[in-house]
């Protein structure tokens, strides 16, 4: 007869150092109130870690954490080299980012209802460098900040509150803004060079207040903060405008608040309306798939014509518009992927031109 043995370890006080922490299937590790279990190596657990005490990551090199979907009530990171999440983890009480950042990779970090994240800033955050997400269980009326960034040098938190049905929401930041939302060619102008994927883990009705955060270094050429708003990637259409928002400055960073968001998906911030008196032509999105918005300068009068040429100088399409401001140029189904030149003509005189990249699914 095969026998199975269980190890029960209870920590009640003081600090205990462990080079590696392994908890086997059906093992029990209890960290009592006030106790700190210091781990200088990796964590691999096939069971919940129990108790109100703290598991402290305090190594000198990158530490790997694989909880295999199990629970750590309180986890603290105090390691300049950071930590790498190798399997899903549930935080039941508190995640403290004292020193270093944690990469999620393909794993999800679940923050259970009532649990909090502390200590985050531009130097200590969750790096969503893969498909893994920070998942807020039971997001409700109270504002919650997802302290995320798409890479180790790109901190772009997003704050959400829910006026609709309380349910689970996952989020990750992605460095850059791509033509197909999560994939495709990077856009190169008139936007903030970051995007966020927002996902529902449980069903419910959304009425979200969304506050996006970025740095001046994230802004692409042609981005105009005074005429910016939120954009969402629409399947079959491309990047579409959602709503304008007011930009605020907080500790040298920029934020934009938008209310009443009912849909999830991939979002970013972009110039969504033409600035009065603007003397340059702006296009968004670029690259484009189904079409793009053109913002024309004030000198573009009535009966302005937009001509799209291929790189051999052949006219592909013309579209007449009514003067300065914002216009949508439709890319017909027969227009192939490639690089084109958009020329703006008014009364036979060229007002300006812009290079356009067209992509196809």
CATH number, domain containing residue 298: 2.60.40.1930
Q: What is the pLDDT of residue 7?
A: 43
Task: Read off the pLDDT band of 15 (50, 70, 90).
Answer: low
Residue 2 within any structural domain of the chain: no
Q: What is the pLDDT of residue 300?
A: 56
Q: What pTM was estimated for this model as a whole? A: 0.79
pLDDT > 70: percent of the chain: 87
Same domain, 262 and 306: no
What is the average pLDDT score of the chain? 87
Same domain, 259 and 293: no
246, 271, 296: which is the final residue of a domain?
A: 271
Q: Tell me: the pLDDT tens digits for 94-138?
A: 999 999 999 999 999 999 999 999 999 999 999 999 999 999 999
Same domain, 114 and 35: yes
The segment with the largest mean pLDDT, out of 69-73, 291-295, 302-306, is 69-73
Residue 3 within any structural domain of the chain: no
Residue 277 within any structural domain of the chain: no
Same domain, 105 and 248: yes
Q: Tell me: the pLDDT tens digits for 36-70?
A: 999 999 999 999 999 999 999 999 999 999 999 99
Residue 295, domain extent: 282-358
Task: Read off the pLDDT band of 275 (50, 70, 90).
Answer: very low
Residue 276 within any structural domain of the chain: no
Alpha-carbon span 281 to 205, nearest angstrom = 39
- Pull the structure tokens for residue 14: 């003081």
Same domain, 261 and 305: no
User: Does an H or E element contain 36, and which?
Assistant: strand 36-39
Same domain, 330 and 235: no
Same domain, 124 and 216: yes
Alpha-carbon span 131 to 156, nearest angstrom = 16
The answer to which of 81-95, 104-118, 198-212, 343-357 has the lowest mean pLDDT is 343-357
Q: How many domains does the chain have?
A: 2
Alpha-carbon span 285 to 279, nearest angstrom = 19
Same domain, 92 and 170: yes
Task: Read off the pLDDT band of 251 (50, 70, 90).
Answer: confident
Q: What is the pLDDT of residue 89?
A: 98
Same domain, 41 and 186: yes
Same domain, 18 and 80: yes
pLDDT beyond 60 at 16: no
In 3D space, the residue among 247, 188, 178 whose CA is nearest the CA of residue 222 turns out to be 188
The segment with the largest mean pLDDT, out of 163-172, 249-258, 305-314, is 163-172
Alpha-carbon span 149 to 129, nearest angstrom = 8
pLDDT beyond 60 at 276: no
Same domain, 180 and 287: no
219, 250, 271: which is the final residue of a domain?
A: 271
Residue 302 within any structural domain of the chain: yes
Residue 118 within any structural domain of the chain: yes
State the average pLDDT over residues 64-88. 98
In 3D space, the residue among 288, 182, 274 whose CA is nearest the CA of residue 240 turns out to be 288
Q: Tell me: the pLDDT tens digits for 317-351?
A: 999 988 667 889 999 989 999 999 898 887 766 66
Same domain, 309 and 263: no
């Amino acid at each position: 007869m095969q026998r199975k043995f269980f190890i029960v370890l209870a920590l009640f006080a003081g600090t205990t150092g462990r080079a590696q922490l392994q908890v086997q299937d059906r093992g029990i590790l209890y960290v009592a109130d006030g106790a700190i279990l210091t781990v200088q190596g990796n964590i691999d657990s096939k069971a919940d870690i129990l108790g109100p005490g703290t598991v402290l990551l305090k190594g000198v090199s990158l530490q790997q954490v694989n909880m295999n979907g199990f629970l750590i009530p309180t986890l603290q990171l105090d390691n300049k080299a950071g930590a790498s999440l190798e399997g899903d983890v549930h935080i039941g009480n508190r995640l403290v980012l004292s020193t270093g950042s944690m990469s999620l990779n393909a794993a999800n970090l679940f923050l259970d209802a009532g649990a909090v994240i502390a200590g985050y800033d531009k130097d200590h955050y969750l790096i969503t460098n893969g498909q893994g997400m920070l998942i807020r269980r039971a997001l409700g009326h109270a504002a919650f900040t997802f302290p995320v960034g798409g890479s180790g040098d790109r901190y772009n938190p997003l704050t959400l509150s829910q006026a609709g049905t309380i349910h689970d929401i996952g989020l990750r930041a992605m460095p850059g803004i791509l033509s197909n939302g999560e994939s495709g060619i990077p856009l190169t102008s008139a936007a903030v060079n970051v995007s966020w994927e927002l996902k529902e883990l449980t069903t419910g009705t959304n009425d979200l207040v969304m506050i996006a955060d970025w740095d001046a270094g994230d802004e692409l050429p042609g981005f105009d903060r005074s005429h910016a708003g939120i954009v969402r990637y629409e399947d079959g259409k491309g990047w579409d405008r959602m709503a304008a928002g007011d930009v605020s400055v907080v500790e040298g960073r920029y934020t934009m608040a938008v209310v009443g968001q009912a849909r999830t998906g991939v979002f970013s911030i972009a110039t969504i309306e033409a600035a009065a008196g603007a003397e340059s032509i702006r296009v968004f999105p670029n690259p484009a798939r189904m079409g793009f918005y053109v913002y024309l300068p004030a000198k573009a009068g009535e009966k302005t014509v937009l001509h799209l040429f291929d790189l051999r100088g052949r006219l592909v399409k013309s579209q007449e518009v009514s003067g300065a401001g914002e216009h949508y140029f439709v890319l017909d189904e027969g227009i192939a992927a490639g690089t084109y030149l958009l020329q703006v003509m008014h009364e036979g005189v060229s007002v300006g031109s812009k290079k356009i990249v067209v992509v196809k699914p």
